[in-house]
Chain A
Amino acid sequence: MSYIGKSVKRVEDKRFITGKGNYTDDIKIPGMTQGIFVRSPYAHARIKSIDISAAEASPGVVKVFTGEDIAASGINGVPCGWQVNFKNGDTMKEPPHPILVKDKVLHMGDGVAFIIAEDYASAKDAVEKVIVDYENLGAVTDPQEAVKDGAPLVHDDAPNNICFDWELGDPKDDVAAALKSSHHITTLDMINQRMVPNAIEPRSAVGHYEESHDKFTLYTTSQNPHLTRLLMCAFVLGLPEHKVRVVAPDVGGGFGSKIFHYAEEAMVIWASREINRPIKWTAERSESFLTDAHGRDHRTSVQMGFDKDGKITALQSTTFANLGAYLSTFAPAVPTYLHGTLMQGLYTTPLVNVDVTGVFTHTNAVDAYRGAGRPEATYQLERLLDLAALEMDMDPIELRRLNFIPKFNGTTEPGYQTRVALQYDSGDYHGVVDKALKMVGYEEFRKEQAALDNGKLLGIGFSTYIEACGIAPSAVVGALGARAGLFESAQVRVQPTGKVSVYSGSHSHGQGHETTFAQVVADRLGIPLEDVEIVHGDSEAVAFGMGTYGSRSLAVGGSAIVKSIDKVIEKGAKIAAHKLESRVEDLEYAEGKWTVKGTDKSISFGDVSLTAYVPHDYPADLEPGLDFSSFYDPANFTYPFGCHVAIVEVDKETGQVKLKRFIAVDDVGNIINPMIVDGQIHGGLAQGIGQALFEGTVYSDSGTLMNASYMDYAMPRADDFPSFEVDRTVTPCPHNPLGVKGAGEAGCIGSTPAVVNAVIDALWKGGHKVKDIEMPLISERVWNAMQNGSSN
């Protein structure tokens, strides 16, 4: 039977619904100790002295390490995996990122000591006994303030706190000239606020050194165990990779924040050899707020020009991107290659220039958070389009349609080359809009909106987005500064009985790979789903892997699996031909058996598998066994797109925004499991809407993260949302064997501007000519905007 396109219930669910999942913090090893970090309460301070004597003497304490110990041991800092060059060709500033700080802390939460005790309570008691004398040096948290002369410096060798400046697209002068001669210019100065990823499972790491084997095992909450092993071994600790096993067991959500190699992972591994005992560290929630890499945090000025008919003439986008105090693994890529390259959107804009300055501040590191750069690009474009429609008194959908890139399939018609480096693979942008408008009942809505008279304002907002995922062709990203390849590996091991074990370098932390990947394998091999097992997340079981992020698992990891299956079928055919006394070219493979074309002579997959491992009657020139590994390096990014529509109600008296409906029509290419794809979209929508309405960090001027707990940071709750209305169109990806594009981030990329646009529409139609309100759109800001015509 076919498994493709079926909402197969997830095979991984049983362990989770019965409390039998195995998350990192659940792991217990005999003799295991508990580690806790002592972290800086200051954003920028010199450590004048640190006294650990009382902590060392505290009951149950095994060992206390400080930054001094780390420096003396010769451990390198945590590396950055992506290099962006200055416009003049100079390499970006890349200051060291020690795993414990010796002399100067650079953000609140910077680690200054690591306490290891027999149990958590003893370690916690000892934290209070570490006495650090800090000299507060004054902080800067806003990237636009940080680049000014005289601002406190984060790193002495990064003048004006600039990590890099960077530009993409057409010459700035050409864009400026086109804007100047435009019929209309729409301008926005906006803050894409800093977000905290907030996986509900806090980060955790267990380091286990076994002297008897001279071997290390790291259990960690990672989306990316092999890359963590590579970075930690080769760059931080100088350990031989083959002596280090990294396991990412069940992982409780990532959203980007668990891609990166963190200092805590290196710390527990190094320290476990020092004390010759296993060590577990698990972040407290406030520690997660302070140290999990954050997302977004762009200050942007953007101008879009239009001719008298509404055709876009040019776009200029200028951003100061806050990178935090240290460069996280992929930090430089996010505001540049994952943001600037998407600034053409779905439109035929003839001139585009994107200018980005990456800036250090005394804040936690910023890196990829669900969408990573693409939400920031989409937010600019889609806010501009809806606002321009209001300003020019046009319909926001008609304005978009006028500027859409025409439909193309990427096979018989070429891909679409943008002004900002990408070649889109396939697209049908009117198709998603048509479907979404039908779901909304657009004309009826406008009538209802005009007639409303109940103390509320009703608004509708649109977003038509495109994103680049399925990352990524290694040679392309290498040319753009990636210090890694972005292929994926997969091994398909057919057991003698015809059961199949698949070892994938992708990692599931909620995405359901154990089901979706098994559907692909069972379908291609024509065997029952229950005969397939997907293994992932263990560097000792899986040959290599680049992990899961950038909506890449099925497009890249799934394609690697397909390559290995193809090899299995190709070799199996040789065995089958021998057994059937036929020629390979006379065989066809379907429904789990090889059949001599035009006859009823056949041999099953199970019989061929057994023959491969019991090769008594066997082709003379063929190796035994049926086990293949493949590496798949994609030919291009994939380009999902969609149309999101928000309908909101705004209370005239309080400014309270209520999301009434949310309609999402996404095109993520071919679908393997619709239930899982819808689930990915739902989750993405909640995070995108969360940014629009609720979430965001608040740093004080002195660099204190003011809302570093669930008492203070507004996480979206069940009663903040209506049920979502989701549907899709299908435009297959032309360049991977499954035709899939990826669904992990689409919901989060498209939804944010639709919600803000809906609030602006409500206000505008209610007589308030408000062009912008700073996210999140809390009632105070909306109310103030209604009173003053601005958000402040």
Chain B
Amino acid sequence: MNITTRINGKEVAREIDDRTMLSSFLREDLSLTGTHVGCDTSGCGACTVLLNGKAVKSCTVLAAQVDGEEVTTIEGMSNGSLHPLQEGFKEEHGLQCGFCTPGMIMTSADLLSRNSNPSEQEIREALEGNFCRCTGYHNIVKAVQHAAKKMNS
């Protein structure tokens, strides 16, 4: 089938196999390998992207479902300068191996779009669908707080 979608602000038209998942469309067809696949059951959240501004797990969204929609991946988060969330993750040491990081940033972007000043508990609850095995989440929480503060200033 043919789909036309906007990825990181640019229109993309492709012919795809009907069963193609959004994650493999991004990674294989478009070489946007910043979106990672850590499982295939929506469990780990490493593949999280924004679909029309809302966080979704791209390993369980069909590419066909984004026909006519707008998708943002980690590659689309910085335009010249780092997004405050990207900056926050660096400043607060919110990443170690980096594999979960794109998904963490995209989920956090969704949170901050709904709640510009989340409490620690609200951040922890918003991130409960994203696994990190390296950081114990401690500095990820601080990274999101860092970004919220910057975006509010």
A interface with B by C-beta (< 8 Å)? 9-10, 12-21, 23, 25-26, 28, 120-121, 197-202, 250-253, 255, 284-285, 509-512, 675-676, 678-679, 682-687, 709-711, 715, 717-719, 721, 723-724, 747
Contacts and interface: CB of A to CB of B under 8 A. Distances in A.
B75 interface: yes
Given A198-B131, A200-B36, 5 more contacts: A9-B91, A18-B75, A21-B98, A253-B134, A685-B136
B123 to A, nearest CB: 7
Can you list the 6 inter-chain pairs with the closest CB atoms, starting with the nearest? A19-B34, A710-B43, A252-B99, A16-B98, A686-B136, A510-B97
A201 B36 contact: yes
27 contacts: A16-B95, A16-B98, A17-B95, A18-B78, A19-B32, A19-B34, A20-B34, A21-B98, A198-B131, A200-B97, A200-B99, A250-B97, A251-B97, A252-B38, A284-B40, A285-B38, A285-B41, A285-B43, A510-B97, A678-B93, A682-B135, A683-B135, A684-B136, A687-B133, A711-B41, A718-B125, A718-B141
Contacts of A199: 97, 99, 133
B86 interface: yes
Contacts of A14: 90
Interface string B63-88: 00000000001110110001000100
Contacts of A718: 123-125, 127-128, 130, 132, 137, 140-141
The secondary structure that dominates the B interface is: loop
B138 A721 contact: yes
A202 B121 CA distance: 29
Nearest to A14: B90
A20 B32 CA distance: 9
B97 A13 contact: no
B42 to A, nearest CB: 8
Contacts of A198: 131, 133
B62 interface: no
Contacts of A285: 38-41, 43-44
Interface of B: 17, 19, 24, 27, 31-41, 43-44, 46, 73-75, 77-78, 82, 86, 89-91, 93, 95-102, 105, 120-121, 123-125, 127-141
B26 to A, nearest CB: 10
Contacts of B90: 9-10, 13-14, 17
A764 B78 CA distance: 54
A25 B23 CA distance: 13
Nearest to A15: B98
A723 B34 contact: no
A155 B86 CA distance: 52
A397 B39 CA distance: 43
B136 A13 contact: no
Nearest to A9: B90
Nearest to A199: B133
A511 B96 contact: yes
Contacts of B74: 17-19
Contacts of B73: 19
Nearest to A686: B136
Given A10-B90, A253-B97, A686 B41 contact: no
A19 B35 contact: yes
A723 B139 CA distance: 9
A202 B96 contact: no
Nearest to B144: A718
A161 to B, nearest CB: 32
A285 B24 CA distance: 15
A120 B33 contact: no
Nearest to B19: A121
A205 to B, nearest CB: 16
Nearest to A12: B98
Nearest to B86: A17
Contact of B39 (A13, A709, A747): A709
Given A17-B89, A25-B37, A285-B38, A252 B98 contact: yes
A685 B74 CA distance: 29
Contacts of B93: 9-10, 675-676, 678-679
Which of B27, B31, B39, B125 has the largest count of A CB atoms less than 10 A from its CB? B39
B147 to A, nearest CB: 11
A683 B96 contact: yes
A710 B123 CA distance: 21
Contacts of B86: 17-18
Contacts of A686: 133, 135-137
Nearest to A252: B99
A628 B33 CA distance: 37
Nearest to A197: B133
A721 B95 CA distance: 17
Nearest to A726: B138
B41 A723 contact: no
Which of B31, B34, B129, B137 has the largest count of A CB atoms less than 10 A from its CB? B137
Given A252-B97, A679-B96, A723-B141, A709 B136 contact: no
B24 A120 contact: yes
A289 to B, nearest CB: 10
Nearest to B59: A285
Nearest to B91: A9
Contact of B99 (A9, A13, A201, A717): A201
Contacts of B27: 26
Contact of A26 (B24, B33, B130): B33
Given A19-B73, A285-B39, A709-B41, A682 B99 contact: no
Given A285-B39, A685-B136, A719 B125 contact: yes
Given A14-B90, A23-B36, A121-B17, A200 B100 contact: yes
Nearest to A687: B133
A12 B32 CA distance: 19
Contacts of B77: 18-19
B128 A719 contact: yes
B43 A709 contact: yes
Contacts of A511: 96
A269 to B, nearest CB: 23
Contact of A19 (B33, B121, B123, B136): B33
B104 to A, nearest CB: 9
Contacts of B128: 717-719
A17 B120 CA distance: 22
